[in-house]
Copies of this chain bind each other. A is one copy, B any other.
Amino acid sequence: MWTNSEDKALRVRAEAVIPGGMYGHQSARLLPEDYPQFFEKASGAHLWDADGNRYLDFMCGYGPNLFGYGHDGIDAAYTGQLARGDTMTGPSGLMVDLAEQMTAMVSHADWAMFCKNGTDATTMAMMTARSHTRRSTIILAKGAYHGAAPWCTPVRRGVAKGDRAGQVFCTYNDVESLEAAVREAGDDLAAIFAAPFRHDTFVDQEDPDPAYAKRAREICDETGALLIVDDVRAGFRLARDCSWSRIGVAPDLSCWGKAIANGHPISALLGGDKARAAAASIYVTGSFWFSAAPMAAALATLKLIRETDYLEQTVALGQRLRDGLDSVASRHGFGLRQTGPVQMPLILFEDDPGLGKGYAWSAALVKRGVYFHPWHNMFLCAAMTEADIDFTLEAADDAFMAIRAEGVWPPSAQLVAAGLVPGG
């Protein structure tokens, strides 16, 4: 039987020693009530919460889990290197191996720099572009997430005006809005940032329009600005190369993190020769950026990326999930908006402005052993099987039946309180 008394007890203790009880993207504050906040263990495609409830996990740690939690080969690479040397007074030669392999796999890239957070990589991209051009203005798509530093965090509290100076916004995939942003930047354009696809929270995901991507490339070529693809979330989930290689557009810089070491802490900025001198000119560093163990894990992960069919497999599983959910939902009279790449799906409901249906359904799924997210893109991993997807479809069927029986789905109280959806 599903219980959450341990989770509740931990939340009470957390409330005392962690501001707001939890912070950041892993706070359960904006998730349906009873979603677990704390987890005890993880293995393959599953995780167990603090009360021992087991979930088939479609968040994959919000992206890092690509080959399964606790992957034997990758973790053995990590622990093997840890026993030799990890955080030392300088990097190990593995850093060179890793830079060579990343640049061999990512077609636009001639060099690599490693860091810890995805935000480190996007910040370094911005600095590199500003150093390269000796200009300041960057173009960002409205609503796109590029990290949580003062210049990019989605919440404005604690952010000073200067942190946001030199930012111009366009609409993803809207060439006209991009042109307008370029005009606004005038002769100060340093960079255009782009997500590999529109993966904003709360809204339908959008594939990149090749015309938009190509125009961004042209503008950068015309103005000398740098084109930056922020592949932190999607990197190696859509391609064994930069995600925009699929539409034939090569950025000057790309940002990586999350899955490149299957959950071990490392991120990266990759770039082409054009931006090499600028990348060398900025001063960026961190206490753990040169640690060898995550690099060993990344090398093991890259090998699996090159040598296995993980990508085709997650696409096939994602398609099976999408098709199955559509069919199950319509049987219960619900319409789903399933968007994004099938292996990184976002699932919203038709006619659900307050996300009431989505919250009720997700909550019902959690109690049936499936961890879905009601407003953030999800992730499939290579440890999932067809049986896992079929288990999910059965749970979904059951959950649709349960919420149909409820009959009304008031807007999410959490989201209403946060001002993110209209109230009832």
Residue positions of A touching B, CB distance < 8 A: 6, 10, 13-14, 16-20, 22-26, 28, 36-43, 47-48, 50, 57, 59-65, 69-70, 75, 78-79, 82-93, 95-96, 99-100, 103, 110-113, 116-120, 123, 126-131, 136, 148-151, 153-155, 157-166, 232, 257-258, 263-265, 267, 271, 276-291, 294, 371
Query: Which residues of B have CB within 8 Å of A116?
Result: 116-117, 265, 286, 288
Query: Which residues of B have CB within 8 Å of A278?
Result: 157-158
Choose among B18, B65, B90 the residue that contacts A99 (Cβ–Cβ < 8 A).
B18
Choose among B18, B87, B267 the residue that contacts A96 (Cβ–Cβ < 8 A).
B18
3 tightest A-B contacts by CB? Answer: A24-B285, A162-B165, A127-B158
Report yes or no: B158 in contact with A165, Cβ–Cβ below 8 A: no
A261 to chain B, nearest CB (A): 9
Query: Which residues of B have CB within 8 Å of A93?
Result: 6, 10, 38, 40, 50
Report yes or no: B17 in contact with A103, Cβ–Cβ below 8 A: yes
Instruction: Give the CA-CA distance A84 to B46 in the complex, in Å.
Output: 12
Asked if A283 meets B155 with Cβ closer than 8 Å, knowing A57-B89, A87-B65, the reply is yes
* A63 to B, closest residue via Cβ: B287
Instruction: Give the CA-CA distance A43 to B86 in the complex, in Å.
Output: 10
Choose among B14, B87, B119, B157 the residue that contacts A286 (Cβ–Cβ < 8 A).
B119
Report yes or no: A160 in contact with B150, Cβ–Cβ below 8 A: no
Choose among B43, B64, B290 the residue that contacts A288 (Cβ–Cβ < 8 A).
B64
Asked if A24 meets B290 with Cβ closer than 8 Å, knowing A150-B127, A153-B283, the reply is yes
Report yes or no: A26 in contact with B290, Cβ–Cβ below 8 A: yes
Asked if A64 meets B287 with Cβ closer than 8 Å, knowing A17-B111, A88-B47, the reply is yes
Residue of A86, A130, A151 most packed against chain B (CB within 10 A): A86
Report yes or no: B91 in contact with A22, Cβ–Cβ below 8 A: yes
Asked if A120 meets B117 with Cβ closer than 8 Å, knowing A24-B285, A26-B91, A90-B36, the reply is yes
* A371 to B, closest residue via Cβ: B89
Report yes or no: A158 in contact with B136, Cβ–Cβ below 8 A: no
Instruction: Give the CA-CA distance A85 to B283 in the complex, in Å.
Output: 34
A397 to chain B, nearest CB (A): 23
Report yes or no: A123 in contact with B150, Cβ–Cβ below 8 A: yes
A88 to chain B, nearest CB (A): 5
Report yes or no: A28 in contact with B90, Cβ–Cβ below 8 A: yes
* A164 to B, closest residue via Cβ: B162
Query: Which residues of B have CB within 8 Å of A119?
Result: 286
Report yes or no: A13 in contact with B88, Cβ–Cβ below 8 A: no
Report yes or no: B283 in contact with A157, Cβ–Cβ below 8 A: yes
Query: Which residues of B have CB within 8 Å of A279?
Result: 19-20, 23
Report yes or no: B148 in contact with A160, Cβ–Cβ below 8 A: no
* A28 to B, closest residue via Cβ: B90
Report yes or no: A70 in contact with B90, Cβ–Cβ below 8 A: no
Choose among B75, B263, B291 the residue that contacts A83 (Cβ–Cβ < 8 A).
B75
Report yes or no: B41 in contact with A85, Cβ–Cβ below 8 A: yes
Residue of A13, A89, A148, A281 most packed against chain B (CB within 10 A): A89
Report yes or no: A69 in contact with B92, Cβ–Cβ below 8 A: no
Instruction: Give the CA-CA distance A103 to B160 in the complex, in Å.
Output: 29
A236 to chain B, nearest CB (A): 14
Choose among B61, B128, B136, B160 the residue that contacts A130 (Cβ–Cβ < 8 A).
B160
Query: Which residues of B have CB within 8 Å of A131?
Result: 157-158
Report yes or no: A281 in contact with B158, Cβ–Cβ below 8 A: yes
Report yes or no: B264 in contact with A287, Cβ–Cβ below 8 A: no
Report yes or no: B148 in contact with A151, Cβ–Cβ below 8 A: no
Give 16 new A-B contacts, CB below 8 A, not counting A47-B88, A117-B288: A17-B100, A18-B99, A18-B112, A23-B280, A25-B285, A26-B89, A40-B84, A40-B92, A60-B89, A69-B88, A70-B83, A70-B86, A116-B265, A116-B288, A148-B284, A265-B287
Query: Which residues of B have CB within 8 Å of A258?
Result: 287
Instruction: Give the CA-CA distance A149 to B62 in the complex, in Å.
Output: 24
